Amino acid sequence: MTESAVDTARPYVAAMVDELTAAGALRSPEWAEAFAAVPRHVFVPRWYEQETNDKGIAVWRMQHALHEGRLTGVYRDATLVTALDPDTAEQIDETAWTGIPTSSSTLPSLMAGMLEDLSVEDGHRVLEIGTGTGYNAALLCARLGDQFVYSVDVDRDLVDAAQRRLSVLSHEPQLMPEDGQNGYPTGEQFDRIIATCSVPNIPTPWIEQTRPDGVIVADVALGIEGGLVRLTVDAKQRAQGQFTATSGRFMAARNDAQTYPRRERAPYAAETGTHPTKVTAADIRGHYPFRLLLAFHLPGAELVYHSDDATGTMSLQLQHSDGSWARVPMTGDRLDTVTYGGTTEIWQQVEAAWKWWNDTGRPAQDQFGYTREPGGHASVWHTPDGRRWNLGPH
């Protein structure tokens, strides 16, 4: 990367900083300065843009930042997919692939919001989980200084590429190829941990590696939905805080550098019946905080799309790890009918959650707290009235 390419990008970088500031994602001069100092295209020289090709297949088409006119593609508020799982990626033509993304450069407004929520101060030592392109690590270096920045990624190739790109800007943070669920396992203690991949529960090593009163900002994936939490770790290693007003979701932490393990699922229960419902697929799809509440009510459940082979009707389906399920159609004239297999309990929970959420004035996600006890047991609560849901040692 030549100095002139970095120079060419300066107006684009400045415009993105203005946009993020106007949107309220950048809230402090310190982070605005860090974003202004780091050209994103150094870390994202190429990425994959999703499109439907001429055969009607959804493909990832490779884009190059330094091709004529493409810098604007990097300097916009968009998540840019940068790696595809080699197990599922299939080359379709010279520049397009199918496959599941395994790394990306996060939406800049989300990154800015999380970094602001981290409330770092000069001299803080920060661990990032999920190095990816290295862009966020570079922002941390620009804000704090290289010696205070540590970052791990499960994929060694990504760590190596990030290191090369960071060195273009003369940054040398401490990088390590490692399953980030182990934190940075060299006995360091951190003032802050920020995770850019999601975890089902806060891993014990993160708690142990955060100094008392230190802060963790991470995405907890609770099954049906998940969200960003900002937790303070106390001297007894309890982590407690709130879901943040900054909302966004991350790809799940993998145990393996290459791909995601296949999930074991109980066989579907046979269809048991139908009944009318007040809660439609649009209600679930349209309200993020309500989905989060559903995840609190049904910690063992997932939300999936279901396509009926006979009619082609797409439905939104909640399915429990025990094989029970309930679904509501997304189209057609039976939007207010739920069909279920196994027990009716899942949908009773959905209706109860919908009633409570509406009766309580439709609280947003930052009205909910999250606690992770030292043994791993987690619970959430509605901060104004204290109503609590146990998530278990999930």
Ligand X SMILES: C[S@@+](CC[C@H](N)C(=O)[O-])C[C@H]1O[C@@H](n2cnc3c(N)ncnc32)[C@H](O)[C@@H]1O
| Helix-, strand-, coil-residue percentages of the chain, each rounded to 5 | 30, 30, 40
Within 13 A of 116's CA, how many CA atoms are on the CB side?
22
Q: Does 158 bind ligand X (CB under 6 A)?
A: yes
Handedness of CA 208, 146, 82, 247 (dihedral sign): positive
Site string (60-99) toward ligand X, x via CB under 6 A: ----------------------------------------
Minimum distance between the CB of residue 23 and ligand X, rounded to whole angstroms?
Answer: 19
Among 40, 143, 171, 254, binds ligand X (CB under 6 A): 254
Distance, in Å, from the CA atom of 193 to the CA atom of 150, rounded to the nearest integer, reads 9
| E strands, 222-336, in order | 226-233, 239-243, 271-276, 301-307, 314-320, 325-329
Q: Does 197 bind ligand X (CB under 6 A)?
A: yes
Minimum distance between the CB of residue 161 and ligand X, rounded to whole angstroms?
Answer: 10
Minimum distance between the CB of residue 72 and ligand X, rounded to whole angstroms?
Answer: 19
Which residues fall within 8 angstroms of residue 15, CB to CB, at 6 or more apart? 75
Among 116, 117, 153, 219, binds ligand X (CB under 6 A): 153
What order of strands is seen across the sheet that includes strand 226-233? 174-177, 149-153, 126-129, 190-195, 210-221, 226-233, 239-243, 368-372, 378-382, 388-392
Among 116, 117, 155, 191, binds ligand X (CB under 6 A): 155
Q: Does 228 bind ligand X (CB under 6 A)?
A: no
Which one of 45-53, 149-157, 266-274, 347-355 is the stretch in contact with ligand X (CB under 6 A)? 149-157
In the complex with ligand X, the residue whose CB is nearer, 151 or 315, is 151
In the complex with ligand X, the residue whose CB is nearer, 40 or 382, is 40
Q: Does 246 bind ligand X (CB under 6 A)?
A: no
Which one of 13-21, 101-109, 315-323, 330-338 is the stretch in contact with ligand X (CB under 6 A)? 101-109
20-58: buried (b, 16+ CB within 10 Å) or exposed (e) per residue? bbeeebbeeebbbebbbebbbbbbbbbbbeeeeeeeeee
Which one of 33-41, 153-161, 261-269, 288-296 is the stretch in contact with ligand X (CB under 6 A)? 153-161
Which residues make up the interface to ligand X (CB under 6 A)? 102-106, 129-130, 132-133, 135-136, 152-155, 158, 179-181, 196-197, 250-251, 253-254
